[in-house]
Amino acid sequence: MTVRISASSFPTPDLVKTTNNPAQWDQLDRFAAVQAEAANGALESLGERLASASTVEDRAAAFEGLYRQSAEWRYRLAVEGRVTRPSSNAETIRTPIGEGSMSYRLSPSVAGRESGSPAHRALTKMERVALEQFSGSADRVQHQVALPDGRTVNGNLLMRTESLGDQAADVFGRSTEEMAAAAPAVALDETITVTASLDDREVLRRAAFEQLAGLETKRAEAGGLDPHDPENRQAFADATYCLFQGPEFRRGTDATMRVFVAAAHARVFDAAPVVPQGVDLDAMVRDQQGFRDTMRDEMRVIPGGQTAGQERSTSAGERAAGARDQGRGSTGIQR
């Protein structure tokens, strides 16, 4: 049976549930169907690209094409005004991070999140996950990402804002003037995660495409892959980690990469996944082994995918149940 990706693959991230009103959460659930539609289109295009691929390099190029298609889809959504945050516009969706860095504040005290809401609870946990990686008097933790070829690349940096000093503008991706205007919103005792350098991010993205190409090659040679095999699952987790550790654009990254991950998994394993609801922030905060463990525990496989009829019958309540079952304890962001 041809794999069909449904809305069940995209549980709503806790981090966008900033209120204690479940009715507003139900409205957020509707984006899952939009992502599923995009993932199915991307999966079909990926199959066409891979049909003529005969080398690992060809297959890596096909997965890069999947990534580009997913990024363009997210941009078009913003252009159409369907999914755009109040603080951004469509052009930020395709604005590269470039030579600078992007950061995300993990401290739950940031305004706009009700105390006790899923978003507030999620950030509370993720800040704790970050701080547990600090040792002694250290105020920074540099993640190292091990690649299949034996190289080690710098990934995200965890740090406390009191250690920023003159680096604040670079870390927050803003000019000095913009930082001065935003100063009241930047506390001195917050925990943040900061993206890697431009060169390292490009290496990490390329590594993700190559690891998926390796899985696709195994699939082609063996006639299929077992998505429950520990070695296969770790390889897919590592590719996902590299992808999220190497973001290219300032906004839209979470939805772009969720669609990518779902389509790539459906291709190499012939089965749709339930993407962990907090996959993006887990990847930005946890070290590589911690992320592997999270993916092992939380990434569920939907055997054989779903037919179109089954997809239409999936209710918002069922999607919410799937999110609760598979996404407890981690967070995600809608950028």
Task: Indicate the pLDDT class of residue 313, thresholds 50, 70 and 90.
Answer: very low
**Phi and psi angles of residue 93, each rounded to the nearest 5 degrees, phi first:** -65, -30
Question: Which pLDDT tens digit goes with each residue over 207-243?
Answer: 999 999 999 999 999 999 999 999 999 999 999 999 9
Question: Which pLDDT tens digit goes with each residue over 153-182?
Answer: 999 999 887 766 655 555 555 544 444 444
Neighbours of 140 (CB within 10 A): 11
Helix axes 56-79, 31-51, angle to 10 degrees: 150
Residue 300 host element (H or E): strand 300-302
Question: Which pLDDT tens digit goes with each residue over 75-126?
Answer: 998 888 765 555 557 888 888 988 878 888 888 766 678 888 999 999 999 9
pLDDT at residue 93 in the model: 85
C-alpha to C-alpha distance for 91 and 97, rounded to whole angstroms: 13
Average pLDDT over residues 306-316: 38
Neighbours of 273 (CB within 10 A): 25
Question: Which pLDDT tens digit goes with each residue over 1-47?
Answer: 479 999 999 999 998 888 888 877 766 788 999 999 999 999 999 99
pLDDT over 70 (residue 333) = no
Two tokens at 20? Answer: 């204690």
pTM: 0.84
Q: What's the full length of the chain, in residues? A: 335
